[in-house]
Amino acid sequence: MQILLNGERVTTDASTLDELCARLGFGEAKVATAVNGSFVAAGARERTALSEADEVEIVAPRQGG
- Total domains in the fold of the chain: 1
Report, as an integer, the average pLDDT of 46-65: 90
Report, as an integer, the average pLDDT of 31-59: 97
Asked whether residue 65 is domain-assigned, the answer is: no
Where residue 37 sits, what CATH number does that domain have?
3.10.20.30
Asked whether residue 28 is domain-assigned, the answer is: yes
Which pLDDT belongs to residue 47?
98
Q: What domain range includes position 44?
A: 2-59
Which pLDDT belongs to residue 20?
98
Under the banding of pLDDT at 50, 70 and 90, the label for residue 61 is: confident
d(CA 12, CA 62): 26
Sign of the dihedral defined by the CA atoms of residues 40, 41, 42, 46, in that order: negative
Report, as an integer, the average pLDDT of 8-37: 96
Asked whether residue 64 is domain-assigned, the answer is: no
Which pLDDT belongs to residue 57?
98
Under the banding of pLDDT at 50, 70 and 90, the label for residue 65 is: low
